[in-house]
Structure 1
Amino acid sequence: MPSPEDQSTTVPPAKTEAGHTLFDDVQALLTGTLVVALGIAMYKKAGLLTGGVTGVAFLSHYASGINFGLLLVGINVPFYIFALKRMGLAFTVKSLISLALVAFFTEYSPSLLRFEWLHPVVAGVVGGMLMGVGMLILFRHKASLGGFGVLALYLQETRGWRAGTVQMALDCAIVLGSAFVVEPMLIAISVLGAVVLNLSLATNHKNGRYVAA
C-alpha cells in the first residue's frame, strides 16, 4: 500500500470531459486528420467528389481552380458558428484545429505523396474508408471537420439519429447534385465512396456505444 506521501504526489493525467487526456486528443486529431487527408488525396487524384461541405469545396475547386484548403475553411465558417452555440467551446476549438490540419495536409501532401496511377473505383472505396475511419477517430474525441458533420453529431446527441445515417443521406444528395460538373461514371463511383464512408460511421459510431476510459 502506498504511503500518504506517495498518495499526495500521485497526480492522474488531466482529462477532458470525454475522459481522454490531452495527449489522447492531440494524437487523435493528428492521426484522424492525416487519415482523412490521405483519403482526400486519393479522391483528388481520381477526380471524384465526396459529400458534405468537403464535396462543395471540391465542386468549387474543380469549377474555379481556387485553392481547395481555403475553400474548405471558408465554407465551414457558418457551421462553426452553429457549433459554438450548440456544441460548446471545446468541441468547436478541436473541430477548428482538425479542419485546419486537414486543409494543411491536403495542400502539402502532393509534395510528399504522389500516385502514379489510381483506379477510380479503388480511390472511391479505399479513399471513402480512410475518410470514414479518420472522421470516426475525430468523432470519438468530440471533434469533427465541420459542415454536415456538426449537424449530424448534433442530431445524434439531441434526437438519437445515427450520425452516419444522417451524413450518408446528405452526402449522397450533394454528390448526385454535381451532375453538371462531373461525368456520370465518376458520380456513380463517388456515390459508392460516400456510401462506404458513411457505412463506416453508421456501424462504428452509435450513441452511447463508445465511452472513453
Structure 2
Amino acid sequence: MRKKIKAKGTQLVAQIVLQRNIKDFVFIVIGVICASIGLKGFLLPNNFLDGGAMGVSLLLQIQTGLDLSLLIVLVNLPFILIGIKQVSLSFAIKSAVAIIALASLVHLIELPTITDDKLLIAVFGGFFLGAGIGLSIRGGSVIDGTEVLAITVSRKSSMTVGDFIAVFNIALFGIAALMISVETAMYSMLTYLSASKTIDFILNGIEEYIGIMTVSDHGEQIKETITTKLGRGITVFRSDGGFGKKGNAHPDRKILFCVVTRLEVTKVLLEIEKIDPSAFVIQYPIRDTKGGMIKKRPLH
C-alpha cells in the first residue's frame, strides 16, 4: 500500500514538473518571437536603442556594423556564465538556448518597415521587446542578462539591483547621446521606459495584491467581519505588545493578516475602522500569490 502511495506521489511530482517545463518552453518561444519583432520590425531599422545588454548590442551594431545576432550572443555570454554561479545551471542553460534562438531569428527573418513615426517606433518597439524579455523571465530564463550582473553587484556592494540597472542605463544613454545623437538617446529612453513597463505588466499583472496586517483589541470581531462579510481568508498570529504603560496589558494580542486585491483595500479598511478606529493597520504590496482563497492568475 505504501509503495503504491509513494509511486503515485512520484508520478504526480513528475507530472507537475513536466507541465511546468512545457509552460516555460511556451513562454520562452513566444518571448523570443516578440523580442525579434521588436528588434527587426522597429528598433534595428531606425537605429534605436533599448537599455541593458540589448541596448549595448544595438549600440555596438550601429557603431561597428557587425551582425546584431552575433553581438547579442557575445554581449550576453558573460551574463550567462555569471548566472551559472549566481542562479543555477538550469537557468543558464535555458537562457543560453533563448538567447541563441533570438539571435537566430534576428539573423534569419526579414520584416517590412511597419512605421516611420519615431514615437510609434519607440513605444511599440519597446513594447514588443519588453514583452519578449518579460515572457522569457516567466519561462525561467533571460534574453537580456543585465539583471544577472545587477544581482552580483548588489551582493558585493551597497547598491540595490534597481540602483545598478538605473546607473547602467544612464551611462548607456549618455554614451549614445555622445556617439550618435541626443535625439536618438532621448527616443531610446522612451523605448526603455515602454519596455520596462511592459515587463512589469507581464511579471506582475494589472491586478496588484496588497497585504493588510492589523493589530487591534477587537481582533475577533474584525476577523469575523472579513471572513463572513467580505469573504476573504485571514491568518491570525499571536503576539506580545510592548509600548508604554499598556505594553504588557495584552500579552496574547492577535495580529490579523489577509491578502486582497488593490480594489478591495478600501472596503477592508472601512470595515476595520467601523469596528476599531484606533486599530494599527499596515499595508504593503505583494508581487504574487498562490493557493488559498486568492484567484490564481491564468499565466502564472
The CA deviation at 1:169 is 4.8
Per the alignment, residue 71 of structure 1 pairs with 71
Bigger Rg over Cα = 2
Change (3 A) 1:176 1:211: farther
Per the alignment, residue 37 of structure 2 pairs with 38
SS in 2 for 1:21: helix
Change (3 A) 1:43 1:191: same
Higher strand share: 2
AA aligned opposite 1:15? V
The CA deviation at 1:45 is 1.6
TM-score (norm: length of structure 2): 0.58
Change (3 A) 1:31 1:116: closer
The CA deviation at 1:155 is 7.8
The CA deviation at 1:200 is 2.6
Per the alignment, residue 26 of structure 1 pairs with 25
Percent identity of paired positions between Structure 1 and Structure 2 = 20
Residues 84-121 of structure 1 show CA distances to partners (whole Å, capped at 9, x for unaligned) of 011001111111111111111111221xx211643121
Change (3 A) 1:86 1:48: same
Measured on the aligned residues, the alpha-carbon RMSD in Å equals 3.3
Alignment of 1:45-194 (within 5 A): 45-110=45-110, 113-115=111-113, 117-152=115-150, 167-194=165-192
**Counterparts of 1:85 and 1:200 in 2: how far apart (Å)?**
28
Change (3 A) 1:162 1:133: farther
- In structure 1, stretches of 5+ residues that fail to align are none
Does the 8 A contact of 1:52 with 1:167 survive in 2?
yes
2:17 corresponds to 1:15: yes
Aligned residues: 203
**Counterparts of 1:124 and 1:94 in 2: how far apart (Å)?**
28
**Counterparts of 1:167 and 1:204 in 2: how far apart (Å)?**
19
Does the 8 A contact of 2:54 with 2:72 survive in 1?
yes
**Counterparts of 1:76 and 1:48 in 2: how far apart (Å)?**
19
Does the 8 A contact of 1:50 with 1:190 survive in 2?
yes
The CA deviation at 1:61 is 1.1
SS in 1 for 2:176: coil
- In structure 2, stretches of 5+ residues that fail to align are 205-284, 291-299
Residues 174-197 of structure 1 show CA distances to partners (whole Å, capped at 9, x for unaligned) of 122212332221211111111121
Higher helix share: 1
